[in-house]
């Protein structure tokens, strides 16, 4: 089994959680490397639906080690609630199967306050963030005023760091954003308690992972969000604030790029996006509503309606190039059943000219016209299909076309939400 990175190949919500859950059976360690509780990975086991925000999806498997890397930003209150919920559901989430990097940055109350205040101030220019404080915590990390997990679990360190930082952040909150100042004592009391509860989980993740790999263990690096939300390569400024592409796996864990063998990109059979920002293949009206309802396209983290559109092979080819995607796991093919015609975007036109590469600026992306190839749809319910040869001929043509247009082979196709509703086109991780 190789060391594999799993990333979202679109704008997030591709169904990464269930694919990670599936592959995690075959690896020893599952590690999250970026993002925070802006993510919401949904996994369906029998009648049970579990949504994970902070914890790697591997936490649901027995005898696996789940790790939160240094690139992740941790909201300790949310993490503790998630751990409690999992334990109540009968899963193990303690020092025997869970570790958190002492270098991970901590989401503090002022990060959430700043995120929310900015979004409500920005009107038309808002990003449509999840409101979890993600942008502000990564900003503080880059500005060298962050609080790390190692500080959280050490009361002296937490006290001195918080004093230094809070004064400046309160000035920003009150004078610039017109919000209320936050109280040092209150935060310190609450967060030092969280530190006490979480201390046992703290570790040097880079050393742990490198030693484990040297000893022959395999690691699955679990990305959050998606390639087009990446801070560098996404549709900036409508992106998240971390490296959600495959490169983030190395930066966010302290494992070198040379130890990563393969990259699996998860893509929906169509496209969705939450929040603001350009979306060339976005649908509208009844067609969009039909897809939204059929796919249950409502956010796992914020409950917001997701914007829906056709599969964008041009964007996917770009995502594959940047991230070295070697295989696609295609999700939700069953949702497309019942559409008479299915469009696939094969390129973009800007001011009447076809573009040769994915645009790097927002104003161009906002104005591009997608070039579509129209394909025949299928009427059959495919949710019980177990072998690709039993799919309707139109569905098989659709898959073949996606492989041709993106130049990436398809590894799996999902036809329903539960663990067993997956068709394997190749055997990769035996
Ligand atoms: P933030 O990550 O909360 O700062 O939000 C920035 C942008 O990324 C917004 O458009 C969010 O809707 C989007 N975003 C963040 N996390 C996810 C996710 O897990 N799935 C889909 N979109 C996300």
Average pLDDT rounded to a whole number, residues 370-385: 96
Task: DSSP letter for 409, please.
Answer: -
- Beta strands 271-273 and 307-309 are antiparallel
- Residue 161 pLDDT class (50, 70, 90 cuts): very high
- Report the pLDDT averaged over residues 7-24: 91
Q: Compute the distance between CA of residue 29 and CA of residue 66 in angstroms, rounded to an integer.
A: 6
CA of 226 to the centre of ligand 1 (A): 9
The pLDDT > 70 percentage for the chain reads 100
pLDDT in the model for residue 5: 97
Model pLDDT, residue 300: 75
Catalytic residue numbers read 13, 41
Residue 163 has pLDDT above 80, yes or no: yes
Instruction: Give pLDDT, residue 427.
Output: 85
Residues with CB under 6 A from ligand 1: 11-13, 38-40, 127-130, 132, 134-135, 224-225, 229, 238, 240-241, 274-275
The Cα 378–Cα 393 span in angstroms is: 8
Q: What is the model's pLDDT at position 51?
A: 84
Nearest residue (CA) to ligand 1, atom 2? 240
Which residue, by CA, sits nearest to atom 12 of ligand 1? 275
Kindly tell me if the per-residue pLDDT of 45 is higher than 80.
no
Query: Residue 150 above 80 pLDDT?
Result: yes
Mean pLDDT of the chain: 94
Which residue, among 338, 279, 289, 287, has the nearest Cα to 311 in the 3D structure? Answer: 279
Indicate if the pLDDT at residue 72 is higher than 90: yes
Q: List the residue whose alpha carbon is closest to atom 5 of ligand 1.
A: 129
List the structure tokens of 103: 């270098």
Domains and CATH numbers, the chain: 4-101+202-263 (3.40.440.10), 106-198 (1.10.300.10), 267-424 (3.90.170.10)
């Amino acid at each position: 089994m190789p060391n594999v990175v799993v990333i979202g190949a679109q704008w997030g919500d591709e169904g990464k959680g269930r694919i990670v859950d599936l592959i995690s059976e075959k690896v020893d360690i599952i590690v999250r490397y970026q993002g925070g509780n802006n993510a919401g990975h949904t996994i369906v086991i029998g009648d049970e639906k579990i949504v994970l925000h902070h914890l790697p999806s591997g936490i649901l498997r027995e005898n696996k080690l789940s790790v939160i890397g240094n690139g992740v930003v941790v909201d300790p209150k949310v993490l503790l609630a998630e751990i409690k919920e999992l334990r109540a559901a009968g899963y193990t989430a303690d020092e025997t199967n869970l570790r958190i990097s002492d270098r991970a940055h901590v989401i503090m109350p002022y990060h959430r306050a700043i995120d929310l205040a900015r979004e409500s101030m920005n009107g038309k220019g808002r990003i449509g963030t999840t409101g979890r404080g993600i942008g502000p915590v990564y900003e503080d990390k880059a500005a060298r005023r962050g609080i790390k997990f190692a500080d959280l679990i050490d009361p002296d360190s937490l006290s001195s760091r918080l004093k230094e930082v809070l004064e400046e952040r309160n000035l920003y909150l009150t004078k610039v954003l017109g919000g209320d100042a936050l109280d040092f004592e209150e935060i310190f009391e609450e967060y030092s308690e969280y530190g006490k509860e979480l201390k046992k989980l703290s570790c040097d993740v880079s050393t742990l992972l490198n030693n484990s790999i040297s000893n022959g263990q395999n690691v699955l690096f679990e990305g959050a969000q998606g390639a087009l939300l990446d801070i560098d390569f996404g549709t900036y400024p409508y992106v998240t604030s971390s490296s959600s592409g495959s490169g983030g796996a190395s930066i966010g864990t302290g494992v070198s790029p040379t130890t990563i063998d393969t990259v699996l990109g998860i893509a929906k059979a169509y496209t969705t996006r939450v929040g603001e920002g350009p979306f060339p293949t976005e649908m509208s009206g009844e067609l969009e509503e039909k897809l939204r309802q059929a796919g249950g396209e409502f956010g796992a983290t914020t409950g917001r309606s997701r914007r829906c559109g056709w599969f964008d092979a041009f964007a996917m080819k770009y995502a594959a190039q940047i991230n070295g995607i070697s295989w696609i796991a295609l999700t939700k093919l069953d949702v497309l059943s019942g559409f008479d015609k299915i469009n696939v975007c094969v390129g973009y036109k800007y001011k009447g000219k076809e573009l040769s590469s994915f645009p790097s600026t927002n104003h161009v992306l906002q104005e591009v016209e997608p070039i579509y190839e129209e394909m025949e749809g299928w009427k059959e319910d495919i949710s019980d299909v177990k072998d690709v040869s039993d799919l309707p001929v139109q569905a098989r043509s659709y898959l073949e076309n996606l492989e041709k247009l993106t130049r990436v082979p398809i590894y799996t196709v999902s036809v329903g939400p539960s663990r067993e509703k997956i068709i394997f086109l190749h055997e990769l991780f035996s």
